[in-house]
Amino acid sequence: MLKRVNHIAIAVPDLAAAASRYRDLGVATTEPQDLPEHGVRIVFVEFENTKIELLEPLGPNSPIAAFLERQPAGGIHHICFDVDDISAAIGTATENGIRLLGGGEPKIGAHGHPVVFAHPKDFQGTLVEFEEN
């Protein structure tokens, strides 16, 4: 079911400063992108073998705002895995007792592909995202 790591997401209090840190080290970044349905503004840091997704809240009701209240300096928020078929992944996950957030209904993610999140308690305290790719 899981193909590869797509990206590791890091919540940040200042997206521009965080992206600049990586660019200063010679790493390419994407332009900021607002994802209002997820409550975030993002930038991808693009490495040869994976990506880092920097997440900044789009407002006080963003789940990232709540995360940053607990960890004001930011930190790792989730890890994303590629899957071939989001519907099949949802079925396999639920058959294996993995609880999916949002009622298990996929949303369109930053790459324009369907995504769904699994409960952190089912992955050793780590929020996990599955992305159809």
| Contact assessment for residue 91 and residue 83, using Cβ atoms and an 8 Å cutoff | no
Pick from 26, 23, 5: nearest CA to 76: 5
Rounded to whole angstroms, the Cα distance separating 38 from 102 reads: 11
Nearest CA-CA partner of 7 in 29, 26, 36, 24: 29
Instruction: Specify whether 129 is catalytic.
Output: yes
Q: Yes or no: say if 14 and 32 are a contact pair by the CB < 8 Å rule.
A: no
Rg (CA), the chain: 15
Instruction: Choose the catalytic residue: 56, 129, 131, 132.
Output: 129
Q: What is the rounded distance in angstroms from the CA atom of residue 80 to the CA atom of residue 5?
A: 6
Catalytic positions, please? 129
